[in-house]
């Protein structure tokens, strides 16, 4: 019998315990052994979780328990779980975590510690979707050309509602908070940080890039308006918050931002709170993985799958975890200003003669070629210029944005959304 | 160094050899060892395949070669590869196959032989999509409630073209043959047999059902017309060839047929030659896997992933292969007549008074409740009745079809498409 300890018995932790009990029949058959949760660590001892396990508020009770073979870390946070996971690994316990923030900052250090001990984290990206499994095993014959995904269900729910029902950003954010999809402080989701943590984990597996969130481009969906959505629809795009990792020679682009994406792409068809990740391999072409990116049972499904893997003795994490750059193919992070993209800009201007000419001249001066221009009245005295460009350099666009902002007839900071 | 022998060096076999060479850098890093193809068995020795391997037309040369650790079987057929794979396993060589027909008939016998030897077959279902990996590993915490998939790219290409371009069945079949998507004798694809082989493999993994193609419902797309597609569009459906495995208590439904499917379902959005498989787990909910279901490189991507798995020493096929029914949960194949579904019928009738009343009375007599009726002129003297039912029993529908056919004003055998 294999004994598991859960640190952090909230929604996901409770689901982990319940799945191991509810589905004990198939799990025993697939793992070859019985797996039971022995104990859990919580902050609040008085709350009844309806579980038949030992509950303690002292993490040492669990870490010092020699009967416990596998520790499931579901604490949240970064430094506190880092210490706990380190101690668990050092005491020879296998660890399964769903903690993407922990991995966004400490994945290489933990992998180093876990050389001879299983350390798994399928649930840290896209909840129940076995995307890490696919990357490490199913696509192992491929050089990965790109990973592009809807990795945050909250943002996707909001973008879907804004698009399908014409609801304004603020209204849909409020609704998402009431539904429990968004936190009281929604920045972590709508600012793109949650998606960035997941992107870093996937990019490490595919490319061995040891970047931290601070090192990469992270933008959110806060500036997307109904005008942008109308423009997108008119020209055959959907707007989604995407995490993108793309290999270009010996460099890898990593970025999270709202993006206009061709509405015929599979990833544009993923609506509501669902997640979906497209992976392009040099041999397999595009594959896509879709499912629930959050929720207790879906996330716990991935945690328990990792526990089963460990019990099967299936993993060898030093080989299967985050890649180290291979000899002769050291990949580095591409500088933000070197990114190439098409861009969409929304520029609010005073509605008077000569403005469009001045703006388009500025594009020309910055070597940026315009593909589409739409001018729409914003109110009695101002208009929105909606402009899509051909492929341009990020540094030129950033310069353009600064130039635009300084013009006397531009009323507010222009909004830019990349087109992928 | 691990040495591989390929039996059947056609499109996929050549791709396997090329991938192991082209991507040797990542493959060595991921497998931990170098993997090379030593030899290949072909029928035609004179054809140049541009490969730097030993070529022979005698399978014994490969099977008796003690240096070869892993045999890749890509011969096609059923009984001949069965003998070859048996011999390979008996001589202690690991086997990777992409041969779905072989597995549709002999998977349990081969698994029995492969108790202590790796035997892998990811490429046998949906080409490059790691769906078997997902079912066996990623979703291992779940009872699988259903598997529903577009498992045949040829049929999906034809259905997509018929829907998007209004092309008639015969014209699009001819085009598919010219493009090489369909064989000269297209029955294996358009008759649903190819999809059925894949469905049986997935159903064995999820449910331990040891059925053969003869035991399950297999229908194709041959009877789908533009009238059916117009009806589907009008009522919010797409028409796809689906493979369906669904658990209902201790029984499992297995069926392959054209189906009307809600156009908002992710699986309805999969167009062209692509494959996609939706798997619903009791804990994870719906997950979906999308990608190229055929083609040399995509299929070889899955073959090579299996080779890497074997070199890693990762699999234990007795535990991870086709499930045996677990104690207390022996699942059996549901009888066809017990299937529940909604149904769509197209009935060509003489266009005269009283016909609709007679037909609808017949539905009533067979305890089948009608949801929608459309009558459309077919030519000067006949009309098509397009009828969608509420949930009904398969045996009642089959009786209805026989009753309808015997009516003097019904001009041809009615066409039935299930609605899922």
Return the pLDDT at A322.
Answer: 64
Burial profile B234-271: b = 16 or more Cβ within 10 angstroms, e = fewer: ebebbbbbbbbbbbeeeebbbbbbbbbbeeebbbbbbb
Nearest 10 degrees: Cα torsion B76, B82, B87, B89: 90
Q: Note the pLDDT of residue B315.
A: 57
Query: Among residues A346, A345, A347, A343, which one has the least CA distance to residue A393?
Result: A343
Q: Which residues of chain A have pLDDT under 70?
A: 314-329
Q: What CATH code is assigned to B337-419? A: 3.30.70.260
Neighbouring residues of A166: CB distance < 8 A, sequence distance ≥ 6: A226
* Bridge partners for A145 per DSSP: none
Whether chain A has a CB inside 8 Å of the CB on B32: the answer is: yes
Sort out which chain B residues have CB atoms less than 8 A from A143's CB and list them. 23, 26
| Count of H-run helices and E-run strands, chain B | 15, 18
**Nearest-by-Cβ selection for A319 from B140, B302, B312:** B312
Fold match between domain A2-133+297-320 and domain A337-419 = no
Q: Does A314 touch chain B (CB under 8 A)?
A: yes
CATH class of A2-133+297-320: alpha beta
Check CB contact of A37 with chain B, cutoff 8 Å: no
- Residue spans of the domains in chain A: they are 2-133+297-320, 140-291+327-333, 337-419
CATH 3.40.1160.10 fits A140-291+327-333, yes or no: no
Cα separation, B74 vs A125, in Å, equals 35
Look at B290 and A289 and tell me if their CB atoms are within 8 Å.
Answer: yes
Phi (first) and psi of residue B128, to 5 degrees: -80, -5
Contact map slice: A 219-278 vs B, CB within 8 A: 266, 269-270
- For residue B104, how far is the Cα from the chain centroid? 11
Look at residues B289, B307, B229 and name the one whose alpha carbon lies nearest to residue B23: B307
Per-residue pLDDT of chain B (420 residues; tens, 9 = 90+): 999 999 999 999 999 999 999 999 889 988 889 999 999 999 999 998 999 999 999 999 999 999 999 999 999 999 999 999 999 999 999 999 999 999 999 999 999 899 889 999 999 999 999 999 999 889 999 999 999 999 999 999 999 999 999 999 999 999 999 998 888 899 999 999 999 999 999 999 999 888 999 999 999 999 999 999 999 999 999 999 999 999 999 999 999 999 999 999 999 999 999 999 999 999 999 999 999 999 999 999 999 999 999 998 865 444 445 665 454 467 889 998 899 999 999 999 999 889 999 999 999 999 999 999 999 999 999 999 999 999 999 999 999 999 999 999 999 999 999 999
- What is the H or E stretch that residue A26 is in? helix A24-31
Give the separation between CA A4 and CA B377, rounded to whole angstroms.
Answer: 67
The structure tokens listed for B26 are 């990542």
What lies within 8 Å, CB to CB, of A155 at 6+ separation is A189, A190, A192, A195, A220, A221, A240, A241
- Element containing residue B56 per DSSP (H, E): strand B54-56
**SS3 assignment, position A340:** strand
Which residues in chain A are closer than 8 Å to B307, comparing Cβ atoms?
A: 141
Q: Are B85 and B73 in contact (CB under 8 A)?
A: yes
Task: Decide the pairing of beta strands B94-97 and B119-120.
Answer: parallel
- Measured CA to CA, the distance from residue B172 to residue B165 in angstroms comes to 10
Q: For this structure, is A198 an active site residue?
A: yes
Q: Is B281 on the interface with A (CB under 8 A)?
A: yes
Q: Do A23 and B285 touch (CB under 8 A)?
A: no
Contacts of A105 (CB under 8 A, 6+ apart): A78, A82, A212, A213
pLDDT for res A141:
94
Rg (CA), chain B: 24
How far separated are the first and last CA of chain B, in Å rounded?
50
Contacts of B284 in chain A (CB under 8 A): 128, 291-292, 297-298, 301-302
Eight-state DSSP code of residue B388: E
**pLDDT given at position A323:** 60
pLDDT of residue A333: 92
Selecting among A198, A240, A247, A334, the annotated active-site residue is A198
B148-291+329-333 to CATH, choices 3.30.360.10, 3.40.309.10, 3.30.450.20, 3.40.1710.10: 3.30.360.10
Q: Which pLDDT does position A327 carry in this prediction? A: 44
B180 touches chain A (CB under 8 A): no
| CB B169 within 8 Å of CB B159 | no
Alpha carbon distance B122, B133 (integer Å): 7
CA distance B199 to chain A (A): 19
CA B275 to chain centre: 9
Q: Do B288 and A290 touch (CB under 8 A)?
A: yes
First-residue to last-residue Cα distance in chain A:
50
Strand partners, A253: A246
Closest-CA distance, A200 to chain B, in angstroms, reads 19
Q: Which of B38, B161, B198, B247 is catalytic?
A: B198
pTM score, two decimals?
0.95
Say yes or no: A201 contacts chain B, CB-CB below 8 A.
no
The confidence score (pLDDT) of residue B321 equals 55
Question: Three-state SS for B24?
Answer: helix
Residues sharing a CB contact under 8 Å with residue B60, sequence separation 6 or more, in sequence order: none
Separation of alpha carbons B41 and B18, rounded Å:
16
Q: Do B328 and A298 touch (CB under 8 A)?
A: no
CB pairs under 8 A between A and B: 213
3-state secondary structure of B7: strand
Instruction: Please name the residues between 105 and 124 in chain A that touch chain B, using a CB distance below 8 Å.
Output: 122
The single-letter DSSP state of residue B326 is B
Q: Do B288 and A283 touch (CB under 8 A)?
A: no
Distance from CA of A124 to the nearest CA of B (A): 13
């Amino acid at each position: 019998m294999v004994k598991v300890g859960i640190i952090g018995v909230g929604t996901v932790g409770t689901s982990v315990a319940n799945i191991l009990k509810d589905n004990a029949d198939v799990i025993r058959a697939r793992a070859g052994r019985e797996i039971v949760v022995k104990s859990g660590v919580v902050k609040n001892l008085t709350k009844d979780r309806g579980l038949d396990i030992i509950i303690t508020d002292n993490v040492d009770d669990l870490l010092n328990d020699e009967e416990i073979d596998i520790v499931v870390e579901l604490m949240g946070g970064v430094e506190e779980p880092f210490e706990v996971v380190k101690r668990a690994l050092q005491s020879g316990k296998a660890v399964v975590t769903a903690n993407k923030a922990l991995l966004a900052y400490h994945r290489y250090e933990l992998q180093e510690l876990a050389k001879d001990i299983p350390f798994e984290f399928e649930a840290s990206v896209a909840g129940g979707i076995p995307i890490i499994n696919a990357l490490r095993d199913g696509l192992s014959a491929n050089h990965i050309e790109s990973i592009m995904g809807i990795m945050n269900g909250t943002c996707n729910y909001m973008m879907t509602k804004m698009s399908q029902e014409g609801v304004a950003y603020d209204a849909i954010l409020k609704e998402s908070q009431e539904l429990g999809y968004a936190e009281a402080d929604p920045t972590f989701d709508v600012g793109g940080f949650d998606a960035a943590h997941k992107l870093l984990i996937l990019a490490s597996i595919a490319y061995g890039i040891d970047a931290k969130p601070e090192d990469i481009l992270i933008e959110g969906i806060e500036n997307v308006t109904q005008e942008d959505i109308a423009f997108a629809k008119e020209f055959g795009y959907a707007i989604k918050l995407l995490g993108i990792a793309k290999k270009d020679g010996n460099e890898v682009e990593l970025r999270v931002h709202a993006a206009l994406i061709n509405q015929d792409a599979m990833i544009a068809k993923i609506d509501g709170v669902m997640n979906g990740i497209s992976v392009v391999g040099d041999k397999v072409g595009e594959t896509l993985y879709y499912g629930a990116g959050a929720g207790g049972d879906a996330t716990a499904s991935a945690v328990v799958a990792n526990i089963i893997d460990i019990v099967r003795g299936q993993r060898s994490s030093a080989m299967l975890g985050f890649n180290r750059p291979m000899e002769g193919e050291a990949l580095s992070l591409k500088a933000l200003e070197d990114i190439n993209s098409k861009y969409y800009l929304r520029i609010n201007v005073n509605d008077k003669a000569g403005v469009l000419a001045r703006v388009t001249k500025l594009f020309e001066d910055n070597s940026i070629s315009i593909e589409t221009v739409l001018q729409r009245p914003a109110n009695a005295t101002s208009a929105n210029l909606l402009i899509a460009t051909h492929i341009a350099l990020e540094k030129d666009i950033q310069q353009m944005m600064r130039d635009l902002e300084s013009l006397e007839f531009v009323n507010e900071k222009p909004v830019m959304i990349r087109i992928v």
